[in-house]
Chain A
Amino acid sequence: MTVFVIRRLIQAAIVVLLMSMIVFFGVNVVGDPVDMLVSPEADQAEIARVIRDFGLDRPIYEQYWYFMKGAASGDLGNSFIFGQPALKLILHHMPATLELAFTALLMAIILGIPLGLYAGLYPDRASSKAIMAGSIFGFSLPTFWVGLMLIMIFAVWLGWLPATGRGDTATFLGIEASLFTRDGLSHLILPALNLALLKISLVIRLTRAGAREAIQQDYIKFARAKGLSTGRVVGVHLMKNIMIPVVTVLGLEFGSLIAFSVVTETIFAWPGMGKLLIEAILQLDRPIVVAYLMIIVLLFVVINLVVDILYSLLDPRVRLGEQGA
């Protein structure tokens, strides 16, 4: 187990290094941040000063060297635009994104599992077919389009929920989140639902497939034959079997929730790190793009690790191996 974790971490370090190199050189090819930064009224001397101050006149490998030197001591460089450490900016925006992603994940589980179970247990009912058709739509509807529609319907036409932004936050158990206030919750519902939609469909389909497969297996038939109540069969035996793929996939999909939050955050003006990233890309704030990516890679390594460990706990047949398959 320890060896396994260490191997994983070493791999992660290599990945982070490679990624940083690709992205650093990559973003330095596109455009020129100086034109995005200086006031149009600035004269040539001022432009030259900014280029010099930001080290943009140095050759790219030298810039990378300085970047790596800083990174070794935990300094991922200063944002060109905000003049603050990129790492600090990203960490500052991270809680909002995590809150959004977790809420979406929760929604996916709460809505997805019962619906999927129903569709799996009663595959021939019309309502099941409707659920499955709905899940196809959930897969197919592009996130950005759904976001617009949600704003149009719930914020503009019905006026039930606020259209944009994050609401008031409160601290509970040491976590500051907008989950704990009324205002915060009302702001959270639409973007979280928008983000969750794809995952709800995914969970429905996974659960249904799992249920359909499990139902034909002997131990379920046996449990039924023993005269256990349907509720118990489904709640205990079936669920346990279904949870494995659901947990794995959701764990892995948590990353994609964070990725797709870029879209949702842009539409709902949610002050998370996805919005920070897209603005950094559009404005060529290179240090932010590079730092974001490095943080995300790290995050992913952690998620994958956690999923693997969870998986081994849920399914006693699985052991954490030390070699690749």
Chain B
Amino acid sequence: MTIEHTDTAAPVAPVPKVQAPWRRFASEFFESWIARVALFTLLAIIALALAAPWITPQNPYDLAQVDIMDGRLSPGAEAFAGYTMWLGSDGAGRDLYSAILYGLRISLAVGVASGIIALVIGSLIGLFAAYAGGRIETIIMRLVDLQLSFPAALTALILVAILGKGIDKIIIALVLVQWAYYARTVRGSAIVERRKEYIEAATCLGLSHGRIVMRHIMPNCLAPLIVVGTVQTAHAIALEATLSFLGVGLPQTEPSLGVLIANGYEYMLSGRYWISVFPGLALLLTIVSINLVGDRLRDVLNPRLSK
């Protein structure tokens, strides 16, 4: 950082002083009815997405099951194959209910996969920086600052332009965009822990570096990591949708929610609102519930702001 505080160094990320016991944490979390609703919604969405193959009438990716003659049916219409399309169908004849659940799978998978990979890579880099200190730390943190000063959307856009389309490429792009957030968070917490006496004591006891990091430093970084993780996952899902909407994200044939919305965008003015409104609502619900959960987590895990 190039900004120096002359008074007490404020840690970059909020750090809980004592690891709150699990139960207290849970009861505090559930105090807010908004958080309860959000968590329930989120779990329901995840469950629906996971169960998609068993609870949908159609596999929207199997061309033999999709019939162009079913295209653009309005909600409640009956498909050629006999089942009812409760949410209508899109231009290619995909049942929207099925397509949304399958699309959720992709959106969530992209968000969670990129989140986890970025978390692992970012945390390792952050820990390494904090633990190594000195020049290495300076260089790494410069890099992190640099990356963070650049808007994620733009970086992702350029990366995808370079990498090309496809799930794997989107995930790579999102990881490259996100790792720095985790690195900063972990390093911020770790640096505070590193100075504490019990770490020194552990070092004196001759514990291995790996053990110290994993058993002592890492658990203390967990709280801020969870908060950053939820927010970042929501962010990644939204970013993927945006990129897909711009035409540089995921391919048409296995549509994520973003692709479904983009396809439906063409139909907005023609009165066939359902093609983009329903996937839009699904996306909205997902992101809002993740953000609400993240918000509550922040309040609960951050003693400075909880009253």
Contacts and interface: CB of A to CB of B under 8 A. Distances in A.
Partners in one complex: yes
Q: Label chain B's interface by main secondary structure.
A: helix
B242 A144 contact: yes
B227 to A, nearest CB: 14
A15 B146 contact: yes
Interface residues of A, number: 56
Interface in B140-171: 141-142, 146, 149-154, 157-158, 161-164
B283 A142 contact: yes
A311 interface: yes
B247 A256 contact: no
A300 B3 contact: no
A11 B150 CA distance: 15
Contacts, number: 131
B170 to A, nearest CB: 15
Contacts of B5: 317-318
A323 B4 CA distance: 9
A139 B291 contact: yes
A80 to B, nearest CB: 15
A29 interface: yes
A256 B162 contact: no
A281 B295 contact: no
B268 interface: yes
A304 interface: yes
B149 A318 contact: no
Given A156-B269, A281-B157, A144 B245 contact: yes
B1 interface: yes
B118 to A, nearest CB: 18
Contact of A263 (B138, B246, B304): B246
11 contacts: A140-B288, A145-B280, A148-B268, A255-B150, A258-B151, A259-B157, A281-B161, A293-B158, A297-B150, A319-B6, A325-B9
Interface of B: 1-7, 9, 34, 138, 141-142, 146, 149-154, 157-158, 161-164, 234, 238, 241-242, 245-248, 258, 261, 265, 268-269, 276, 280, 283-284, 287-288, 291-292, 295, 304-305
